Amino acid sequence: METLPLDLLGAIDDLRRQRNAVILAHYYQEGDIQDVADFIGDSLQLAKAAQTTKADVILFCGVHFMAETAKILNPDRIVLVPDMAAGCSLADACPAPLLQRMKDKHPAAKVVSYINCSAAVKAISDIICTSSNAERVVRSFPADQELIFAPDRNLGGYIAKKTGRSMILWPGTCIVHETFSERRLIELVSKNPGAHVVAHPECEPQILGHANFIGSTSALLDYVVRTEAPAFIVATEPGILHQMKKAAPEKLLLPLPGTDESCSCNECPHMKRNTLEKMYLALRDLQPRLEMDETLRQQALIPLDRMMALG
Ligand code: 13P
Ligand code: SF4
């Protein structure tokens, strides 16, 4: 059993300075992790922060594919993750050999992969997108270009509808966003007349159908801050509420529960594996460290660079 310092936050701060480390955190992290982070963002913002940081060490408080992306974009830095087992159901749903099989069946198709995928899947994709730039990425292809969209069928379906193009959708889903209940949403809307529904595009289409606004985590935060409404029903992982409450303390924020209200199945179990204790140990021991085969990294960098070049 590890003996932890009594002042964990102070110890993290000291180690951050000693290691010349930057702490990046996704909006789905616990509030105490967000509060200690140097930068909080959505997937695209975090990828950009990881790419441009001058720190020697990146402590990535998110999930595995995000830390992998940081390493692909910035190979000279040490990339630490508080818990190497923090995965993602979308990344797990799309093994690279199976995506390759789909590509073989559609040799003329280009592959657009959501950033929530492994480095091996990135390496066989033509371009990467995040929830904040997926529409722009898809529109960057000629209208008659056949497209495979992997691995999130909900984001893919939403973008297909928005752009009016048909895409071959990989059947992956996020275990958190697929759990939201339309019945519970309707109940909340009827109890809170005038409330705006904000939803992440990883939600199922029946949830998106009720949304006043659909966007990435940072776009949802921005919408809540700038929009006048009596209340907001938030259909995404409730970690985002921490920044919403800070930025708009006067607004009523209602997290949408999952189908079973007694469970906390609207929380991402992967994101929630990270803790302050694990952050301290990671900075102290410089472990667990994300390492990557250099050939794989270079292959995965090509579609990521194409996304970054779109701005
Ligand atoms: P964004 O922060 O890019 O909206 O992504 C949400 C998500 O599910 C990350 O895994
Ligand atoms: Fe993956 Fe869903 Fe968790 Fe995001 S919320 S990391 S998509 S499982």
pLDDT tens digit sequence for 139-172: 999 999 999 999 999 999 999 999 999 999 999 9
What b/e string do you get for 118-152 counting C-beta neighbours within 10 Å, with b at 16 or more? bbbbbbbbbbbbbbbbbeebbebbeeeeebbbbbb
Q: Does 139 share its domain with 164?
A: yes
Give the DSSP per-residue string, 227-286. ---SEEEEES-GGGHHHHHHH-TTSEEEEPPBSSTTS-TTS-TTGGG--HHHHHHHHHHT
User: Is 29 within a domain?
Assistant: yes
Domain that holds residue 210: 177-255
Q: Does 96 share its domain with 165?
A: yes
User: Is 305 within a domain?
Assistant: no
Provide the pLDDT confidence category of residue 92 given band limits of 50, 70 and 90: very high
Q: Does 30 share its domain with 77?
A: yes
Number of domains into which the chain is organized: 3
Side chain identity at 62, as an amino acid letter? G
CATH number at residue 40: 3.40.50.10800
Residue 5: asked if its preceding bond is cis (omega within 30°), the reply is no
What is the bridge-based pairing of β-strands 21-26 and 39-41? parallel
User: Is 296 within a domain?
Assistant: no
Total residue length of the chain: 311
Identify the domain boundary among 173, 191, 208: 173
* Ligand 1 contact via 217 beta carbon (within 6 Å): yes
pLDDT in tens, 238-272: 999 999 999 999 999 999 988 776 677 899 999 99
Say if residue 64's pLDDT is above 90.
yes
Give the DSSP per-residue string, 133-170. THHHHHHTS-TT--EEEESBHHHHHHHHHHHT---EEP
Ligand 1 centroid distance, CA of 61 (Å): 13
Identify the domain boundary among 173, 206, 234: 173
Q: Does 166 share its domain with 237?
A: no
Nearest bound ligand to CA 266? 2
User: Is 157 within a domain?
Assistant: yes
Token output for 125: 């994709």
pTM for the full model? 0.96
Write the residue with the smallest CA distance to atom 7 of ligand 1.
Answer: 43
Token output for 309: 């070049």
Ligand 2 centroid distance, CA of 89 (Å): 6
Write the residue with the smallest CA distance to atom 6 of ligand 2.
Answer: 88
Under DSSP, is residue 113 helix (H, G, I), strand (E, B) or coil?
strand
User: Is 164 within a domain?
Assistant: yes
Nearest bound ligand to CA 199? 1
Nearest bound ligand to CA 265? 2
